[in-house]
Amino acid sequence: MTEHDWSDWKRQLEPVLTSKAEEWQLLGYEKVTEEDVWACFMAKLSKLTVPETVTAHWIVGEVFRLKVTEYMNWLTMEAYKGPNWFTKDEGLEFSLKSMTEKVKPSS
């Protein structure tokens, strides 16, 4: 399936994503959103055996089968994949000279 197909499914199954997000919110994970649930499902998709013809009930079953521990593991892995603060690509510049120029003693 293409990315476009999955986005269509996401739009159609919004109530399912909302329900799963609310379930996890009741368990104490207040900041979880429907986007988080979908992203977690999409990450798990690579480990699943996807049928040739994807149906709504298959996706609903897999989303409802997601456990909060899988969400937390996914969230942790996403945090590890975060930006590398030590590369120059990020545009961060730090030098002692730039710091001393900003702080000038008052006369």
In a domain, 29, yes or no: yes
Query: What is the distance, to the nearest Å, from the Cα of residue 30 to the centroid of all Cα atoms in its chain?
Result: 15
Can you give the residue range of the structural domain that contains 87? 3-102
Residue 54 tokens read as 């994807």
In a domain, 107, yes or no: no
Tens of pLDDT along the chain (107 residues) come to: 565 588 899 999 999 999 999 999 999 999 999 999 999 999 999 898 888 888 999 999 999 999 999 999 999 998 888 777 676 555 555 566 665 665 556 65
In a domain, 24, yes or no: yes
Q: Contact, 37 vs 21, CB < 8 A? A: yes
How many domains, the chain?
1
- Residue 40: Cβ-neighbour burial (10 angstroms; 0-12, 13-18, 19+): buried
pTM of the model: 0.71
